[in-house]
Amino acid sequence: MTPNRLGWQGHITALGGIVWREAIRFAQQRERFLSALVRPLVWLFIFAAGFRSVLGLSITPPYETYILYEVYVTPGLIAMIQLFNGMQSSLSMVYDRETGAMRTLLVSPYPRWFVLVSKLVAGVAVSILQVYAFLAIAWFWEIRPPPIGYLTLLPALVLSGLMLGAIGLLLSSTIKQLENFAGVMNFVIFPMFFASSALYPLWRLQESSELLYDICLFNPFTYAVELIRFALYAQVNWPAVGIVIAVTVAFLGAAIYAYDPSKGLVGRRRG
Amino acid sequence: MTPALRVQGVSHAFGKTQALRDVSLTVQPGRFVALLGVNGAGKSTLFSLVTRLYDNVSGTIEVCGHDVRRQPGPALARMGVVFQSRSLDMSLTIRQNLRYHAALQGIGRREAIKRGDWVLERVGLLDKGASKVATLSGGQVRRAEIARALMHDPTLLLLDEATVGLDLRSRADVVDTVRALAQGGEVGILWATHLFDEVRSDDDVVLLHKGEVLATDTASEIAGDSTLSDRFLELTGVDEREIAA
């Protein structure tokens, strides 16, 4: 290999290759795309419709008027798509490790952190496709944020996708076998989703349980939801931006550490 | 000449279990070196250390003069690997797998297509390039993995039990393909196996047992007046049935 392949052009080629492979796999797995789409739509069509009459919502930023529950819950469902996608990507990493395909990735001459970040970026790209497909269908369900919101949403999706993917990546490094992953899905996805501002405003939650309110404030998923909620209305929730970036850096750093053969968990295991 | 691979004084332990003890070996370009040992001898551990899946904390491992610890990038860039477990993406075609691997090595699409045809021809799979890996036979998958390992023109080729699970004919095909590569003179090959019939008398052999190198020489020198397998049994004291497995 000529040394220039290890330069920045080679890095871009490697990143492109990883994204390309993820895109092909995604295109081949129609069921995955369909279930990624159906899940939030079921919540939107059935759950939100049922709750519409139960939950009254006051006017809180970023909303400037009274909104339907469906409108409130949409950012939470967008974040849910990314949460599932992040966990699915890490699930595929555990699977790749079991089958040996992961080794192909790890013997790449590029730094391991770069390979892992590329994998993360590929997963985020797929989740963004899913989100826009969901929003396109939701448009017919009267979920119509301002047109500029579709554009300002994009950077927020990148940030929240990276955070949720980084959490999944760290999980994948600590899980030895696929069977253990089912438990993690239950212990990570559902608590993260329910103990957040995805389904109900935090002030509402505070009225019923101070403890649950505190848990929601501690949950990084809450900030991903709020980041998306504001971005969808062309606004920036700066505290959410800060927290999402900080959590991403922390989890990604820990995942890179865990995958480093000289320090982490993966290299120490036998087999 | 700089060796394709130089392993010097490498030990490795998993907790209290010592997997490798003071292992040293050299693979020169153009040589076919058989790393011979029964299951559990430490062959896969050594491969994991050379490929940086594990970190070597004692001794040195150099690929084409690059220390895998201090210069992992240039070292990995010169190394092609066929792992014991299948590692091609079954849902992709052979060519897509090759393209993916090429990208991971920093090789762009156009060059990947050109090199893809060349390596597929070398392993006799040019007509199968558009086939999904899931539709191939065991021997074809192995040859496709060898093709993939050659995509970035490595100087060192590592193959870990590459013929496991193959029928006799496929085994012979794979071994012949790899030997032909060594004959070109540019690629050094480390062939880990527990099958004695894959070793020829003029091959360099490293006998590994319970993590230790018991002998390093050509197969005929190690065997002496006896056969290689008999000599192995004598040196290791293992049961004959164990090497037949």
Residues 117-176 of chain A with CB under 8 A from chain B are: none
Residue B157's pLDDT is: 93
Residue A266's pLDDT is: 54
Q: Which of B53, B83, B101 sits opposite A267 (nearest CB)?
A: B53
Residue of A nearest to B64 (CA): A1
The verdict on a CB contact (< 8 Å) between A109 and B106 is yes
pLDDT in tens, A16-53: 999 998 888 888 877 878 888 888 898 888 887 777 76
Residues 25-54 of chain A with CB under 8 A from chain B are: 25, 28
Residue of A nearest to B15 (CA): A268
∠ Cα B56 B58 B63 (to 5°): 55
Residue A263's pLDDT is: 58
Residue B226's pLDDT is: 87
- Which residue ranges of chain B lie beneath pLDDT 50? none
Report chain A residues whose CB lies below 8 A from the CB of B75: 109
Domain ranges of chain A: 3-259
Please give the average per-residue pLDDT across A171-179, as a whole number.
Answer: 73
Q: Which of A9, A17, A108 sits opposite B76 (nearest CB)?
A: A108
Say if CB A201 and CB A60 are below 8 A apart. Answer: yes
Residues 93-112 of chain B with CB under 8 A from chain A are: 96, 99-108
Query: How many distinct helices (H) and strands (E) make up chain A?
Result: 13, 0
Q: Which of B19, B57, B104 sits opposite A108 (nearest CB)?
A: B104
Q: Chain A within 8 Å of B144 (Cβ-Cβ)?
A: no
Q: Chain A within 8 Å of B77 (Cβ-Cβ)?
A: yes
Say if CB A175 and CB A98 are below 8 A apart. Answer: no
Residue B15's pLDDT is: 82
Is residue A269 very low, low, confident or very high in pLDDT (cuts 50, 70, 90)?
very low
pLDDT of residue A11 exceeding 90, the answer is yes
Residue A178's pLDDT is: 62
Residue A58's pLDDT is: 65
Residue A74's pLDDT is: 92
pLDDT of residue A1 exceeding 50, the answer is no
Residue B159's pLDDT is: 92
The two beta strands, B17-27 and B79-82, are unpaired
Residue A270's pLDDT is: 43
Residue B243's pLDDT is: 62
Domain ranges of chain B: 1-78+170-245, 89-153
- What is the nearest CA distance from B222 to chain A, expressed in angstroms? 30
Q: Chain A within 8 Å of B232 (Cβ-Cβ)?
A: no
Rounded to a whole number, what is the largest CA-CA distance in chain A? Answer: 66
Q: Chain B within 8 Å of A110 (Cβ-Cβ)?
A: yes
pLDDT of residue A54 exceeding 80, the answer is no
HSE-CB of B238 using CA atoms within 13 angstroms: 21
Q: Chain A within 8 Å of B134 (Cβ-Cβ)?
A: no
Please give the average per-residue pLDDT across A226-244, as a whole number.
Answer: 94
Provide the CATH topology of domain B1-78+170-245: Rossmann fold (3.40.50)
Q: Which of A29, A95, A104, A106 to mutate to test the interface with B (most CBs of B within 10 A)?
A: A104
The verdict on a CB contact (< 8 Å) between B52 and A16 is no
Contacts of A126 (CB under 8 A, 6+ apart): A22, A23, A26, A85, A89
Q: Chain B within 8 Å of A99 (Cβ-Cβ)?
A: yes
Q: Which of A14, A99, A263 sits opposite B103 (nearest CB)?
A: A14
Is residue A227 very low, low, confident or very high in pLDDT (cuts 50, 70, 90)?
very high
Residue A101's pLDDT is: 73
Q: How many CB pairs under 8 A join A and B?
A: 113
- pLDDT higher for A225 or A101? A225
Q: Chain A within 8 Å of B67 (Cβ-Cβ)?
A: no
pLDDT of residue A172 exceeding 50, the answer is yes
Report chain A residues whose CB lies below 8 A from the CB of B153: 1
Percent of chain A whose pLDDT exceeds 70? 88
The verdict on a CB contact (< 8 Å) between B108 and A13 is yes
Burial class (CB in 10 A: 0-12, 13-18, 19+), A209: exposed
Residue A87's pLDDT is: 85
User: Structure tokens of B186?
Assistant: 């540019």
Q: E-assigned strands of chain B?
A: 5-14, 17-27, 32-36, 60-63, 66-67, 79-82, 156-160, 188-193, 204-209, 212-218
Report chain B residues whose CB lies below 8 A from the CB of A24: 92, 96
Residue B214's pLDDT is: 92
pLDDT in tens, A73-83: 999 999 999 99
- Among A86-95, A214-223, B70-79, name the one with the lowest average pLDDT: A86-95
